[in-house]
Amino acid sequence: MEVRRRHVQTPANAAGKGSGGGHSKVQASDALPLPIRHTNLLFSALFMASLVYLMRRWREKIRSSTPLHVVGLAEILAIFGLIASLIYLLSFFGIAFVQSVVSSNDEEEDFLPHSKTAAPSQCSLLGPTEVPSEKLPEEDEEIVSMVLGGKMPSYLLESKLGDCRRAAGIRRVALSRMTGRNLEGLPLDGFNYESILGQCCELPIGYVQLPVGIAGPLVLDGRQYYVPMATTEGCLVASTNRGCKAIAESGGAMSMVLRDGMTRAPAVRFPSASRAAELKAFMESPENFDTLSVIFNRSSRFARLQGVHCAIAGRNLYVRFTCSTGDAMGMNMVSKGVQNVLDFLQNDFPDMDVITISGNFCSDKKPAAVNWIEGRGKSVVCEAVIKEEVVKRVLKTNVESLVELNTIKNLAGSAVAGSLGGFNAHASNIVSAIFIATGQDPAQNVESSHCITMLEAINGGRDLHISVTMPSIEVGTVGGGTQLASQAAFLDLLGVKGSNVSTPGANARLLATVVAGGVLAGELSLLSAQAAGHLVKSHMKYNRSTKDITKSAA
């Protein structure tokens, strides 16, 4: 959401405008003794005359071998005139610039408090506090009454008050009275409401408390990671932690990022299917890719077009752009690049009607075969070899039972269900928990949880090879919820906070591998619990409220 700054006229300023105003707006040229056009002409003539005179004098001195630094009164005056006119022309030629500065200063003075008391702290993203047509009451109770009476829109509270915390409190009281419901259990204090303004949430009334557990260490690619998981499902963190233990005791897991590209697919319509086919051929032609890349890449220094794939439905054309987005998840970035290309294409295809910037061929926040096959975001595969001894001691089962269960459940069972990208036990559990903890978009859990889990017996049936292949993990380490304090702390815990200066995109790719590693651990542990018949027992133990802390600790 874009936050726009608006300069609002005070009543005094507003009265001075228009045909009936008492005074006109102050102009920078009002300070000059002559009209602006005459002043510009005068200084331009002075500049040229001084320059010509000095050049002639210096030429005569050179011919007569007279030192140039020996000057008379006339030359001193000419030098002074040259410098003065040059300063004027550089500073005042194009007087509108000065007028805008003076005007903006006048407007800023209108917002300065006339009293010596300090103004209340205001939201940093709001800019100057908006002045309402009528002065707001000082008491919160009166403002609540205005909200309830429809005199003050709730969404304007932040800009009118200039205090994000106070706005949230007033909105909360008004909601409670409108609904007759008590919001006592919802915390209000202890949160920085300025941090979400224009970025994460509108119309806030508080925040939800969500517990965060740590699973690990997850040994992945030779490094240890402690994986944060925000969840209310008992046993989830404990189970994932057990999977991490089994992986660590078997030497760790390995991961590979296969692809890294965010997508956006606008939908355009033509008068005929043949015209749509012409644009399809143009977009997919290798000869035109360089031109499209130049246009697309103007949107950002990180956006780099990777490919274009088109699909036709009648006279409608869906153009799926894929591009790298650095350490950002990249939806806004790729959308800007797509808009650049659409504007460019309008010149050669004037009959093209842009229906929407997102035609669902992307496909965002929906299960889709195109993401499962082509990938979206980061495509990652993660694998590990679990030793037979670890399978028996830590996971309480055996290799043969695990392989059989995975075939019947994750592969055949999911096929019977007609699953799309759901050939796994519970990848969504781990993805959602890590996404919430690290400030990702929870709705993108839909395609990010696409996963196929494979288990095979190796080394003569003694050891277990397990892998998860996830073609569309959509994560970022900058932007959105990643800038919130709690979420940024967990990104820092993983060593991926912010952007990677030396290798743009490296932090986001590393986060994607950690997500896949967490899924690997979660799959391993849950399948083991089901193979050993422990699932119901463990959930009855951990998902039931208990005051016996020793049982939970066990």
pLDDT digits (tens, 9 = 90+) for 118-172: 344 445 444 444 444 457 888 999 999 999 999 999 999 999 999 999 999 999 9
Q: Which of 110, 233, 284, 404 is catalytic?
A: 233
Give pLDDT, residue 8.
36
**pLDDT for 97 beyond 70:** no
| CB count in 10 Å sphere of residue 439 | 25
The pLDDT-based confidence of 56 (bands split at 50, 70, 90) is: confident
Does residue 539 carry a catalytic annotation? Answer: yes
- Which one has a higher pLDDT value, 60 or 435? 435
Question: In the annotation, is 396 catalytic?
Answer: no
Q: Give me the amino acid identity at 469.
A: T
What are the pLDDT digits (tens) for 315-374? 999 999 999 999 999 999 999 999 999 999 999 999 999 999 999 999 999 999 999 999
Q: What is the mean pLDDT of residues 160-189?
A: 94
Rounded-to-integer distance, Cα 423 and Cα 412, Å: 9
Q: What is the pLDDT of residue 17?
A: 41
Look over the chain and give the mean of its residue pLDDT values, rounded to a whole number: 86
Q: CB of 535 within 8 A of CB of 242?
A: no
- Between CA 477 and CA 492 the distance in angstroms is 10
DSSP 443: G
541 falls in which pLDDT band (50, 70, 90)? low
pLDDT given for residue 42 in this prediction = 83
Catalytic residue among 396, 534, 539, 541: 539
Helix (H) or strand (E) holding 233: none
Tell me: pLDDT of 529 over 60: yes
- At 537 the pLDDT is 66
Q: Is 456 a catalytic residue?
A: no
3-state secondary structure of 257: strand
The phi, psi pair for 136, rounded to 5°, reads: -70, 145
What's the pLDDT band for 547 if we cut at 50, 70, 90?
low
Confirm if 236 and 429 have CB atoms less than 8 A apart: yes
Q: Do 512 and 430 contact (CB within 8 A), yes or no?
A: no
Q: Structure tokens of 261?
A: 């590209």
- What whole-number distance in Å separates Cα of residue 47 and Cα of residue 130? 46
Average pLDDT over every residue of 246-261: 98
Q: Which is catalytic among the residues 365, 409, 534, 541?
A: 365
pLDDT at 358: 96
**Closest Cα to residue 299, out of 262, 270, 352, 269?**
262
Relative to beta strand 422-423, strand 451-458 is parallel
| 3-state secondary structure (DSSP) of residue 2 | coil
User: What type of residue sits at position 153?
Assistant: P
Q: How far apart are CA 470 and CA 378, in angstroms?
A: 8
For 466, phi then psi, to 5°, come to -125, 140
Question: At CA 531, angle to CA 528 and CA 537, rounded to 5?
Answer: 85
* Mean pLDDT of the 15-26 span: 41
Q: Cis ω on the peptide bond leading into residue 217 (within 30° of 0)? A: yes
| H or E stretch at 247 | helix 236-249
Residue 248: Cβ within 10 Å count: 20
The pLDDT of residue 76 is 87
Q: Please say if 465 is a catalytic residue.
A: no
Q: Which two tokens stand for residue 385?
A: 């070899």
- Cβ pair 191, 164 in contact under 8 A: no
Residue 107 pLDDT class (50, 70, 90 cuts)? very low
- Predicted pLDDT of residue 117: 37
Measured between alpha carbons, how far is residue 63 from residues 57, 58, 66, 74, 349 in Å? 10, 9, 8, 19, 67
